Amino acid sequence: MVAVVLQAGAEAQLPAHSYVAFSMNGPVCGDERVVDEHYVVPVADSRTEQALMAYVWPSLYHGFEHLALAPSATVMIHRADSPLGLLNTLLALQRGAQVFALTRHRQSAYQLMQLGAAEAALYGTDWAALAREHGGVDAVLDPTSGVYAAQSLQALRRYGRVLMLGLEPGQGRAIDPLELRERNTGIAAVRWDPMRDRIGLESARPSFELLIDRIQQLPLTAAHRYEV
């Protein structure tokens, strides 16, 4: 279930912001429910972004399952200060990976470093070259449907992979297959289908629940808003 929080209890430590509430017991559309504050996730003001996060976040979990990252792996995460990018970051840290975060805002970069990212770079810089200077990355998580896929290939180590999240049929950009073959790299797309993959939601749920407290600890600023 996904809904906007209408009212918070007196003891709930929730900043003044729009929220999406996750409950494991789905109500009838238009109904009102009481949920524990630990099932409340801060997101951007846009209702479209709120709905997008609720729909796509399970694909993030299954994307990590697909990558089967080693604990020592380095992961580049695009739009790491967006709702989906933030969940990517926390899932990577939860698995012991080193996070190379990308954002448009210096304040967000600082906050991502405080969260645990090993490196945070800004768009507008040569971030692919910076990643190579640090030894490259084993995987790239792109929640923008592959907008950064071509440039991200330049940051990969040999046998690395780019994972495009939420990609719909017909989206994405052309990639020269020779470029993939020369460096033994790969590109994959993951899209969550709530009907096809609903059984997998049971395995994703515990991991998501563990992230809620950490998400609530982040300062909520305009820097966390992003453009698609």
pLDDT reported for residue 23:
44
Check whether residue 161 and residue 61 sit in a common domain. Answer: yes
Mean pLDDT, the chain, rounded, equals 67
pLDDT reported for residue 167:
53
Q: Residue 81 is encoded by which pair of tokens?
A: 């200060």
- Express each pLDDT in 10-57 by its tens digit: 666 655 444 554 444 444 455 566 665 555 555 545 555 555 555 556
Check whether residue 67 and residue 148 sit in a common domain. Answer: yes
Check whether residue 162 and residue 68 sit in a common domain. Answer: yes
* CATH classification at residue 67: 3.40.50.720
Check whether residue 109 and residue 37 sit in a common domain. Answer: no
Check whether residue 31 and residue 143 sit in a common domain. Answer: no
Does 174 have pLDDT greater than 50? yes
Q: Parallel, antiparallel, or unpaired: how do β-strands 156-165 and 137-142 relate?
A: parallel
Check whether residue 110 and residue 137 sit in a common domain. Answer: yes
- Express each pLDDT in 178-212 by its tens digit: 666 666 666 666 655 555 555 555 555 555 555 44
Check whether residue 94 and residue 168 sit in a common domain. Answer: yes
Check whether residue 37 and residue 91 sit in a common domain. Answer: no
Check whether residue 124 and residue 186 sit in a common domain. Answer: yes
pLDDT reported for residue 214:
44
pLDDT reported for residue 220:
35
By residue range, what is the domain housing residue 111?
57-190
Check whether residue 34 and residue 140 sit in a common domain. Answer: no
Q: Which of the four pLDDT bands, split at 50, 70 and 90, describes residue 8?
A: low
Bin 172: left if φ > 0, else alpha if -120 < ψ < 50, else beta: left
Does 122 have pLDDT greater than 70? yes
Check whether residue 23 and residue 94 sit in a common domain. Answer: no
- The residue ranking higher by pLDDT, 171 or 37, is 37
Q: How far is CA 2 from the centre of its chain?
A: 18
Our count of domains for the chain comes to 2
Check whether residue 68 and residue 125 sit in a common domain. Answer: yes
DSSP code per residue over 39-73: GEEE--S-HHHHHHHHHHHHHHHHHHHHHT--TT-
